[in-house]
Amino acid sequence: MTALWVSNGGVREITGGGSAAITAVARLAGLWASDLLLIQVLLMARIPMVERAFGQDRLARWHRWTGFTSFWLMLAHIVTVTIGYAAGTTNVVTQFWDLVRTYPGMLLAAAGTLLLLLVVATSIRKARRRLRYESWHLLHLYAYLGVGLALPHQIWTGSDFTGSALARAYWWTLYAVALVAVVVHRLGVPAWRNWWHRLVVTRVVPEGPGLTSVYLTGENLTGLTVRAGQFFHWRFLDGPGWTRSNPFSLSAAPQPDSLRITVKNSGDGSGRIASLKPGTRVLVEGPYGKLTGESYSGGPVVLMACGIGITPLLSLLGELPYRSGEATLIYRARSEEDLAFRGELEWFAAQRGVRVVPLTGRRADRDSWLPANLAGQPDAAVLRQVAPQVAAAHVYICGPEQWAGTARAAAVEAGVKPARVHTELFSW
């Protein structure tokens, strides 16, 4: 892409100075912004090979930073192209209005920029914390419309597009790949899977304060290719609001004829789960996530859960082929009352020799995976105390982002090879 800009005289125009240099910089910023916008779409297109290689956590982080970078480059493009066109002829405001009003595709680009500004503003961490997941997800979908509106002006007026057959081939290919990826993997594959598997709710069971398990059956579930530790995006067809999906992990190892999820009541979508009726139809997208036993090669295993992060780790306990005495589950919760699945954990302890270590209490006053009553000790030292085999273990971590980060750091400091530390973050 940069090479195409160079071949179209970009470097020559910059070295020549004046308004041509400013517009050359604007063109390059615009090309980079367009490239990153399309790469951003591809990162979250749910392409199975990409998901398996990197995991959705990592892809989401790349998607977020790619989005911020492309947005700032797009603003730089708008500012510099306006200054370059206005140089020596008119004022900047008049020139900007003239560009939007008279140049082909620029009115659409302005609308797309406003939509992308909305998405970026609600993606800032402080703004996300003030929004419900369902509201944030709905607003985030406007990014597709923003990209679709912001890019066409490049086709109609961009000299780096219209002036070169190679450039046109490059951009049309990238557009086509992004569009096909979204249509196939975000729409086509989920539609086919839902028609083929026809999931329905069979039971709804309270598990503890604010926790509800949903049992589901369907057709041809052996072909769903889901593993313990993975999650789906779920839509329950129980009335208004069904169009908004929510990500929930499996809380039990998948069976040939059934699945189970467990949901914490933390918003409108999750709050409806307790009132679901048997027979309710379910739509899913997935499975996603790399918190699986795919790379487990036997030997010690340590699972570290915080809050609702227990759900995928509970499913892993049911699938991993560890021997008696090799597995340790560390379960972090605010209080004894918040520890869920007591019966199942007792069964794993009795029947499969799992060592269950509950750690309850308020948060520490420092960044730590430990509760306040243990935070006076080093994180790694406590981990070695409660899981003496940790250095030789595969470690699976699931919980809120900050907690999971400190737990991962403690595991590595305790001697675990980074490649053996597997994480899933409960964040968005």
Profile the chain (428 residues) by mean pLDDT over runs of 10 residues. Answer: 65 73 81 86 85 79 86 86 76 78 73 77 69 66 72 66 72 87 91 95 88 94 90 90 84 94 75 88 91 90 94 95 96 91 94 96 93 94 96 95 94 95 75
Do 148 and 28 share a structural domain? yes
pTM for the model: 0.80
Do 217 and 171 share a structural domain? no
Do 160 and 15 share a structural domain? yes
Domain edge (last residue) among 139, 166, 186 = 186
What sign for the dihedral angle of Cα 365, 386, 208, 286? positive
pLDDT of the residue at 269: 59
pLDDT of the residue at 62: 86
pLDDT of the residue at 279: 95
* Residue 224 structural domain: 198-288
Do 326 and 390 share a structural domain? yes
Domain edge (last residue) among 164, 186, 208 = 186
Q: What does the DSSP 8-state code read for residue 252?
A: S
**Please, which residues have CB within 8 angstroms of residue 10's CB and are 6 or more apart in sequence?**
24, 27, 28
Do 234 and 85 share a structural domain? no
pLDDT of the residue at 326: 96
- 294 within some domain: no
What sign for the dihedral angle of Cα 416, 421, 426, 428? positive
Evaluate whether 245 touches 205 at the Cβ level (below 8 Å): no
Cα–Cα distance for residue pair 362/17, rounded to 1 Å: 61
Query: How would DSSP label each residue in 221-236?
Result: GGGG---TT-EEEEEE
Nearest-5° Cα angle at 225, 64 to 257: 125
**What CATH number has the domain bearing residue 281?**
2.40.30.10
pLDDT of the residue at 142: 66
pLDDT of the residue at 80: 86
Do 357 and 283 share a structural domain? no
Do 222 and 115 share a structural domain? no
Evaluate whether 407 touches 422 at the Cβ level (below 8 Å): no
pLDDT of the residue at 197: 95
Do 382 and 284 share a structural domain? no
pLDDT of the residue at 318: 94
Evaluate whether 348 touches 324 at the Cβ level (below 8 Å): no
